[in-house]
Amino acid sequence: MGVTRFDLIVVGLGAMGSAAAAHAASRGRRVLGVEQFQPAHDQGSSHGRSRVIRLAYFEHPAYVPLLRRSYELWRRLEAATGRDLLQITGGLMIGSPDTAVVSGSVRSAREHQLDHELLDAAELHRRFPAFTPRLETVALYEHEAGSLAPEEAIRAHLDVAADNGAQLHFDERVDDWRVLPSGTIEVRTSRARYAAEKLILAPGAWAGALFKLAWLPLAVEPQQLHWFLPHGGAAAFHRDRFPIFIWDLGSGTQFYGFPADDQERVKVAFFRSKVTGEDAIREALRPCLPALANGELIETVSCKYTLTPDRHFVIGPHPDWPNVTIASPCSGHGYKFASVIGEILADLAIDGTTRHPIDLFDPRRFRDSPS
Ligand SMILES: Cc1cc2nc3c(=O)[nH]c(=O)nc-3n(C[C@H](O)[C@H](O)[C@H](O)COP(=O)(O)OP(=O)(O)OC[C@H]3O[C@@H](n4cnc5c(N)ncnc54)[C@H](O)[C@@H]3O)c2cc1C
């Protein structure tokens, strides 16, 4: 049986792979996308109805230029597909002034001259009454922050890819790939074999098996998302009075949340925290958001983080095979970048280089200085 040939194969059609397929197909390449599950499924890292997007980036100011492009591309994707993907709600980065979230966000906002305000506890509570901060708590309020619709955005990227001629295969698992001596890449799946000039690997939590880089230290961790119905009703949780937020409680505990959705549900999650179980979650919420602590917990969903030791992404040419591009943009904060990362992956696969700053994400940093 003949092997079907493509210019480019994308493995994994989650947040990053769907975006890469859309960008590559839009540039006229013959693209095959292979996904082991259904479009926008709930087994990986990209489900749960909302994702935070913000510009003041406490993790590292180097992310800000990528974020600006990412906002632009999300808006362009909305215009191209007619789907609502990005809602601007404003965003609060809350904590005592010396916490990582507050001090890092202030540094990033100043360095990049982002539109922001600093609020003391009284002002925070006056403008956003659901929050009950302690006296020493402060907040950076950022106007441009908001919420993305992750499943809808994957569907939008898949639509753009398909409209531009990409073949998209679902319920098909990639079992192996190899680079032949000719340089052609052969991909073997649960159904067939394919050949291509270029390969993009965007397998999310399955990267350990597919990257073929034994030294790359990726750890997969399940994380819980919780939806509460606020006690006393959701009036104080609508987005004009309750933007997206991240609250740093110090000693490594951070939690974040979103405005009430159209069914009055408020989503909160603890970032890689030891706070687990319903009682501990209510106790942690009580001093900060009492109406949630006393509300009804209606749903909990698990989602996978894929973490690097330094919490920065892995994006770049495969260190052993330059025709293969690898992407693990997670560490719990990758979704907001999916639109620009799709562009970067298409750049790297098609042109071998990108104008975007991605030095921070070089996979070789873990080979050259193992941590
Ligand atoms: C609880 C939680 C909250 C988060 N909150 C935020 C947030 O607020 N803001 C933010 O920016 N980021 C957030 N993130 C991180 C963000 O969602 C991830 O960085 C992003 O979804 C990763 O996208 P991905 O494409 O790498 O993975 P995925 O979207 O999981 O895609 C990988 C795909 O590859 C497929 N695949 C894997 N192996 C194979 C194979 N062998 N053959 C075929 N297909 C394969 C998988 O089925 C999957 O569909 C959060 C993540 C979680 C879990």
Contact (CB, 8 A) for 226 and 217: no
Contact (CB, 8 A) for 180 and 186: yes
**Considering the chain, what is the average pLDDT of its residues?**
96
Query: Considering only CA atoms, which residue is closest to atom 29 of ligand 1?
Result: 14
pLDDT tens sequence across 271-328: 987 888 899 999 999 999 999 999 999 999 999 999 999 999 999 999 999 999 999 9
Query: Considering only CA atoms, which residue is closest to atom 37 of ligand 1?
Result: 203
Ligand 1 pocket, Cβ-based, cut-off 6 angstroms: 11-17, 34-37, 44-46, 48, 51-52, 173-174, 202-204, 206, 210, 223, 225, 269, 303-305, 329-330, 332-336
pLDDT at position 371: 53
Contact (CB, 8 A) for 11 and 36: no
pLDDT tens sequence across 19-35: 999 999 999 999 999 99
Closest atom of ligand 1 relative to the 269 alpha carbon: 1
Query: Considering only CA atoms, which residue is closest to atom 27 of ligand 1?
Result: 204
3-state secondary structure 186-211: EEEECCCEEEEEEEEECCHHHHHHHC
Please compute the mean of the pLDDT values over residues 200-222 and round it to a whole number.
Answer: 97
pLDDT at position 370: 53
Query: Closest Cα partner for 316 from 197, 244, 213, 206?
Result: 213
pLDDT at position 274: 80
pTM of the model: 0.97
